[in-house]
Chain A
Amino acid sequence: MDFGPHLMLASLEGAVIAAILALTAMGLSIVFGVMRVVNVAHGEFYMLGAVLAWFVASLLGGHPAYGFVAALLIAPVLVGCLAAASDWLILKRINYDPDRTIVGTIGMLYIIQQTTLMTFGPDARPVEAPFNTRLALPWWEWGEGGLTMIWPWGLSTTSYKLFVIVAAATILCALWLVITRTKLGLLMRATQQDSETAQAFGVPVGKVYSWVFGLGAALAAMGAVLVVPIQQAHYLMGHDPLLLSFIVVIIGGLGSLPGTVIAAILIGMSDGIISVFFSPTVAKIIATLLVAMVLVFRPQGLMGRKAA
């Protein structure tokens, strides 16, 4: 494949990865920003979103679009409720102590993963995309007659992949509006800035924590529902998104929302492009190296504020 079309294909693949990653990492970032909880079980909420999407879609039947839309609405809500319940049941009991929450969420990781294995089983299960048309993409080249349009071999994407990018951007915009324009967002921001003062002013910090933990998990689940028609639901699928989400929030700055989006695009695009031109292993090596560099030279992340 020529360099130009090759790069375009790599960028498109990278954009899909970045879109999903932005949603997933945003969930992790919000939870850390507001609650100061490092949620190791985040990848399992992602996996649970995909598995529930399969469950809802296969229960409904009919045109794949019905199942998909239902899954997009139901799966994140269910995952969010489960996360809020586990916050109340576990994290609250250990007073959100940083060390103990890490151990607690590791426990949640195994409980969710193994429960899924025992019920859903070890097989990968597909969810049919609501629409999936192959779109051949054109490329322009300087020929003898000036600029001509060609259709390079293999340069294509699918309508569903484009939809994933748009849907993720829409969800992120909606999230930004919720945080900046609604009362819930105000409570979240107040809790984030100083939870003790917020509590003194009557902010129900405990409830906000549960909401936020649920919202973070729901965002991961949304990413998973979007990705599951491209990949498949599998009980081990939460591992990679967890790792990449951590990389993204560390680079972007823990708790910084714009930083998370920027880092997600950076990591997603570079993962797409580097793995096309070199290898996916090199892409992972570079991402990890980037984390190390950020931790050494800018420990608070690209957009994070220095700890007081």
Chain B
Amino acid sequence: MSNGNTRNSMIDRRSALIGMGAGVGALATGLPGFAQAQSSAPIKIGFQKHATGVGAAYGRWYDATTQAAVARINDMGGINGRPVEIVTEDDGTDPKRGAEVIEKFAKQHECDVAFGTLFSHVVIGSAPRAGELKLPYFVVSEGHHVASGMLNRYTLQPGITDVKSQVLSMAPFVANNLGKKVTMIFPDFAFGHDHRDFFTQAIEAQGGEVIAKIAIPPTETSFTRYFPNIPRETEVLYHVMVGPAVLTFVKELGEFFGPSSPEIFGFIDSLEAVSIGSPGLEFLEGSYFWEGNPRHAQADQTSHDKMYRAAVGVDDTGSSTADSKDVSTYAHMFGCWETLNIIKAGMEAADYQGPADRAKLIEAVEAMSDMPLSDDHPQGAKLFNGKTHQAFGHQYISRVTDGKLVVEHTTSIDESLYEDEVDYTTQSF
């Protein structure tokens, strides 16, 4: 990404050409084109929300974060002098519905961009339609499907890191501090498979091995029956689970092991929107969690995190300020905040005026690279790879200490980098 500057200048030349073209076009069509360019109509961002279905807890908090981020952007004068309007559609956490929602955004609501999807199967189901409709689609999903080259030039993930980079940076910590023989429990769909495939590679590179892989359907409600497949010689239990039954999953895990559990390393996904103080979770004391963004405010909390927490309405324990029982999905939802700020920065860089400038917007985002820690990026600094459309950032490893998630290790961005698997910039629009 050292060539970020050269790429920038390229974009300038390119956008200058496009700008000239647009100017000629506007002259050719006469006054209406000019009036449209000066429009004060709102910029419409279609928010694909998991309002119902298995992703509902995330959907609610992604929504809260999105509304807060947009309120802040509008307070600061909007984008290119135009207010931002969020158009929300429920996708039911369902891939088929997801594609339909993308279509609604493009054709019915005439949105400028679509945004906000988390669950990987919905992203994979929706992205092809976004590509066909030439609608920029900014996902907040963590899946490796963007950087793997599976999707298309219109799909970007600039505001949250992907599973492959997360597990790459976790493996050294697991192997050096917890143990080398790992049993993995993961949800049986694309997101879980990313965990399975990339962590297996990453731990082998550290001299460890995955001795058992236990896949659980994301709609499962009863888990004890899966646990006897955990081999006795397991040194580290690696768990990641999603869906409405995550509390049952973790509780039954504790009931299964009793006092003689191996080291436990979990992705906080297994406990997103669930209080770590829930009855039955006492056994997690001393265990480790990956966190995308630390749920509990840390001793060295940045001013940016403080501002972001207050804006979204989350207290120092990660719960809603309105209802302390309502625990947020704090490790993931920052992605919506940061992605919206990137859309703003991209539209400003591209001098975005309307749907005709969508390609310019994508080129402007592709030209981004360093994103320093700031109010726009409260989770931490990021490095965006325009070729793979994927952001890289810091990861946090927290230990449950007296019922609080205390960050014990923060990985560097370099630890989470891997070789490019695709160059979307070579694809035509």
Residues on A facing B (Cβ under 8 Å): 1, 6, 9-10, 13, 17, 117, 121-124, 126, 128, 132, 134, 136, 153-154, 156, 158, 230-232, 234-237, 240, 272, 275-276, 280-281
For residue A156, give the distance in angstroms from its CB to the closest CB of chain B. 6
Residues on B facing A (Cβ under 8 Å): 51-54, 56-57, 59-60, 217, 220-222, 224-228, 230, 232, 244-245, 247-248, 255-258, 260, 273, 278-280
> Are the CB atoms of A124 and B256 closer together than 8 Å?
no
- Which one, B224, B225, B273, B280, contacts A123 given CB within 8 A? B273
Residues of A within 8 A of B220 (CB): 280
- Which one, B53, B248, B260, contacts A231 given CB within 8 A? B248
> Other than the known A6-B228, A123-B57, A236-B244, what 18 A-B pairs have Cβ atoms closer than 8 Å?
A9-B225, A9-B228, A13-B222, A13-B225, A122-B52, A124-B57, A132-B280, A134-B258, A154-B257, A156-B256, A158-B255, A230-B222, A231-B245, A231-B248, A234-B244, A237-B221, A272-B225, A276-B228
For residue A154, give the distance in angstroms from its CB to the closest CB of chain B. 5
> Are the CB atoms of A154 and B228 closer together than 8 Å?
yes
Residues of A within 8 A of B228 (CB): 1, 6, 9-10, 154, 276
A-B contact count (CB 8 A): 77
> Are the CB atoms of B278 and A126 closer together than 8 Å?
yes
> Are the CB atoms of A122 and B56 closer together than 8 Å?
yes
Residues of B within 8 A of A158 (CB): 255
The docked-state distance in angstroms from the alpha carbon of A234 to that of B226 is: 22
Q: Which residue of A lies closest to B273 (CB)?
A: A123
- Which one, A17, A232, A237, contacts B247 given CB within 8 A? A232
Identify 26 residue pairs between A and B in the complex whose beta-carbon atoms are under 8 Å apart, listed by A's number. Answer: A6-B228, A9-B225, A10-B228, A13-B224, A122-B51, A122-B59, A123-B273, A124-B57, A126-B247, A128-B279, A134-B255, A153-B232, A153-B260, A154-B227, A156-B255, A158-B255, A231-B245, A232-B247, A234-B245, A236-B53, A240-B221, A272-B225, A276-B225, A276-B226, A280-B217, A281-B217
The 3 lowest CB-CB distance pairs between A and B, nearest first, are A122-B56, A124-B244, A1-B228
For residue B27, give the distance in angstroms from its CB to the closest CB of chain A. 51
The docked-state distance in angstroms from the alpha carbon of A174 to that of B402 is: 47
> Are the CB atoms of B247 and A124 closer together than 8 Å?
yes
Residues of A within 8 A of B280 (CB): 132
